Each structure stands twice: as C-alpha cells, then as structure tokens.
Amino acid sequence: MYRIADLCAGVGGFHLAFKKLGVEATMACEIDKNAQNTYRFNFPETPILDDIRQMKGRDMLGAEIMCAGFPCQAFSIAGYRKGFEDARGTIFFDLARIAKEASPEVLFLENVENLKNHNKGRTFDTIKRILETELNYKVCYKVLDARTFGMYQMRKRTIILCFKDHELSHRFSLHEGGIKPPKDFSVLLDDFESLNKKYFIKEDSHLAKNYLGLIENKENPDYIYQFRRHYWREYKGRCPTLTANMGTGGHNVPFIYDPRGSPPDGHTSYRKLTPMEVFRLQGFGVDGFDFKLPEDSKDGHLYKQAGNAVPVKMIYEIAKNLAEILK
C-alpha cells in the first residue's frame, strides 16, 4: 500500500481524505502553529515539521505520494527560464526541490481557481515547466467545482496530478464528480441547544439596527447570508466560497436565520455559522470523515483554518480514482 506525505498540510484535509481509503501519512509539514494544534488533535501519531524551507526529501519517509495545498505566489523572475531559479523564494520552489530529492511516484497539488491566469499566466507556466522539464513528471490539471462532488459550498480549485511514470497519466483523468450537492444545509448545523449566544446577532448591535433591514429574503432559513461592508449577499441552495479572512474578526463568516429555537435574550435569530459548521461545509466531520476541533482553540483561528482547507470530498473522490491505477 502506498503512503502520502502531507505538505502545506493545514489541518489535514488530504490526510483525512486518504485515510478513508486506508492510506496513512508518513509525515506532515505545516508552519501555522494553530493549524498544527488542530492537525495533532486529529492525527496524533503523525510527525509534523513546521518549516518546509528546512525540509529535505528524506523527511518524506519514503512516501510514494506528495500532497500539498500550496499558496498561490508570483515568481519574482518568472519568464527568464532559469529552471528552479524562476521559483526561488516561493513555497512551490521548496515543493519542487523536495520532489527532486525524494522522487515520489505522484504529486497531488491543489491551488486556487485562478492559478492558470495568475500573473498573466506566468505563474502556472513556470510551475508546469519545472514539473515537466526539471522533474520529468507528466502533468494533468483541471479546475474542478466542489459542488459536483456532493458539497454544498461553491468552491472551484485547480487540481494538479503529476506522474513519474508517464504511462499512468494515460490511465487517469481529472473530471467533475457528478455527485449532487445536498438540497439544504440543515444537516450540517450544530444542535440548536448547544449553540453559544456569542454567535447570535444582538438586537442592539450596529449590525442589527442598521443592516438587518436590508436583507431582501428576510427570516428565511433556506438562505446563507454574507455581509459585505454595507450590503448583504444572499445565497439559496449553495454556500459562497469560504476564505481564510473569516478569521480576521469581520463579517466574512456566513450568517443564517435559525428559527429552530428561541434566540438568547436580547438577540435576534440571525447568527454566524460556528467553526464546526464551517468545517462541515468543507467536508470535515461529515460522511464518514471523522474530525473534531480542539476545545482550547480560538474561533478566529478555526475560521481561518477552515477557509484555508482543501474540500475533503473532492480530494477523496480524486484519491479514489487515483487508487484504481496505483493498485
């Protein structure tokens, strides 16, 4: 059985998806201390390194698949075609360096939807050229929508699969999932009795007094609302793309109208989604992907971690297809 190395690991979305297939991670690498805490809470036996810049190929401990949800960064001298030097100073440079040293059979990479157009296309062109020319991998890539993998959230991501054995790439294809998303999000909500009043909007708050009246589809439990400075975006049948800036303390965390019980005294029935609810929108803690949150973690840290996470169900379905050709 093959194993994965979980780089730029976040809270372990890749690990969680592969674990359901019976595949374990030899190690992980994640620089954010709070994300490390959540990762260790769920995968206590997996060793975690904290600085990918110091990591060596041998630190992958023989894993056959390198996974990474790496950040989208511009290359300072992209286009000069100096090989690895085009990517120096970026996380991708270190991923490529480690891949060259360890030579894993497969690279499984995830990035933002707009990666191919980032920096006028230079970023992706440099990534692809290094993977193919410098590392001799066959590269397959496609932008996929998490909603086609049975997720309620709108989340399009660039998925890149790279094969050391070029023949394997001919037996593998990246395609939309064909799994319908749930019709509503009620199954993803916490029990009403367990909700802390801090998530509910206070009746005398600035938000309640000045902006709740601007909602067009008022008091409708079928909608997810997102406050954008001076107006609301309203979504029915889907959740907007979750982002890391949910952890900044603003109103980027989605709101809902929750009539399942009486709100706390002095509060409205409008409330923020809780950290665990947001994680469920990313596929954590549902459908057999067991996941829990450390009780000592701050909400802001957890919202940020959820926004940075990979969509677990999408990763799982791709990993399942990958498993078929790696047998």
| Closest listed residue to residue 33, CA positions, set 56, 51, 57 | 51
Q: Tell me how far apart the alpha carbons of residues 201 and 173 are, in angstroms, rounded to a whole number.
A: 46
Is residue 310 packed enough to be buried (19+ CB in 10 Å), middle (13-18) or exposed (0-12)?
A: buried
Q: Tell me how far apart the alpha carbons of residues 190 and 196 are, in angstroms, rounded to a whole number.
A: 11
| Closest listed residue to residue 310, CA positions, set 73, 50, 23, 12 | 12
Q: Tell me how far apart the alpha carbons of residues 162 and 141 are, in angstroms, rounded to a whole number.
A: 8
The distance in angstroms from the start CA to the end CA of the chain is: 8
Distances (CA, A) of 240 to 66, 121, 248, 277: 29, 26, 17, 14
| Closest listed residue to residue 253, CA positions, set 218, 293, 225, 229 | 225
Instruction: List residues with catalytic annotation.
Output: 72
